[in-house]
Amino acid sequence: MKKIINNPEAFVDEIIESLLIAHPKWIKPATEDKRALVRADAPTQGRVGIVTGGGSGHMPGFLGYVGEGLCAGVAVGNVFSSPSSEQIFEATKAVNGDAGVLYVYGNYGGDVLNFDLAADLAEAEGIDIKTVVLTDDVASAPKDRAADRRGVAGMVFAFKCAGAAAERGDSLDDVARICAKANANCRTMGVGLSPTILPAAGKPTFTLPEGEMEIGIGIHGEPGTHRGKLESADAIAERITKQIVGDLAAPKGSRVALLVNGLGATPLEELYLLYRHSAKLIADEGLKIARSYVGEYVTSLEMAGASITIMLLDDELEALLEAPARSPFFRDGTES
């Protein structure tokens, strides 16, 4: 195990401590255990607060998207484990500006359970809650069961669009509608080349023989749809792009956003090789790439691999992507 860590049991708490030392102008804890973090200026009166959360190990996933024009708060679970309902509830109270709170998170059993429990607690205190569960991973269930799909890197677009809507003062209904549309318009698929080792377990989440790849792998190492010999960047880009473009079935001439996301150990150079061929295939399909994102956005500790996400745009979503956003980990928008 080649990890730069201290006590594995303290892994998450030490990271949070470090974030609070490094970025005090941006985030503050909402609980004594610091497992709920919120924007330093929370709550913002009259604005919808967006709360996300999930297991740790996906940085900048989840907690990296707390910031201006993004989420207002996050509940931080252990590695690959849901945060508790209490932590989510505390984040909710801390971002509540009397305009309602939107929950946005990936479709995983523990997260769904705990966010639903937190929603009950919050509503009992008179806080309006709406929920959008993210389901962009096409490899995780067929299209006729799209609601069963897991949420992966598409969360970046959901946070960005919903966050921009909340920032400009949209109502809870509108922020939820926009977030649901962003999710419905996103398709993602990944490829894994090597597994993640969980700090506490000290063992790989899955095994993959040298020289093999797994297409459709999840961000916790969930099994994919194809395992075989490692192929070229172009061949991998084609396998993924054809599948997500086919599933999205956007009309020719549509504008899309394209995100090539590294899962942890894959160099930026290789992500650009995937981008290159994916962008060509998307253009060949008659789609127009309006915005491009290449880098590590939602990871799986040191897993080698990547995912490709496309989001179908309309005028509303494109304007929201162009709005300013900033956190210590993510800056976007034509203005910023």
List residues near its own copies by CB under 8 A.
1-6, 11, 14-15, 17-19, 21-23, 56-57, 59-60, 191, 193-194, 210-211, 230, 232-234, 236, 264-270, 272-276, 279, 292, 294-296, 299, 301-302, 304, 306, 329, 331, 336
The distance of Cα 54 from the centroid of its chain, to the nearest Å, equals 10
CB of 267 or CB of 286, closer to its own copies: 267
Closest C-alpha to 36, from 80, 84, 72, 88: 88
The distance of Cα 63 from the centroid of its chain, to the nearest Å, equals 10
Question: Is residue 220 annotated as part of the catalytic site, yes or no?
Answer: yes
CB of 15 or CB of 184, closer to its own copies: 15
Question: Is residue 58 annotated as part of the catalytic site, yes or no?
Answer: yes
How far apart CA 323 and CA 335 sit, in angstroms, is 7
CB of 169 or CB of 336, closer to its own copies: 336
CB of 336 to its own copies, least distance (A): 6
The continuous run of DSSP H or E covering 306 comes out as strand 304-312
Contact predicate 52/101, CB 8 Å = no
What burial letters (b/e) apply to 81-116, b meaning 16+ CB within 10 Å? Answer: bbbbbbbbbbbbbbbbbebbbbbbbbbbeebbebbe
Contact predicate 126/34, CB 8 Å = no
Which residues face 28 on adjacent strands? Answer: 38
Q: Which is catalytic among the residues 23, 220, 226, 277?
A: 220
CB of 178 or CB of 256, closer to its own copies: 256
For the annotated catalytic residues, the residue numbers are 58, 220
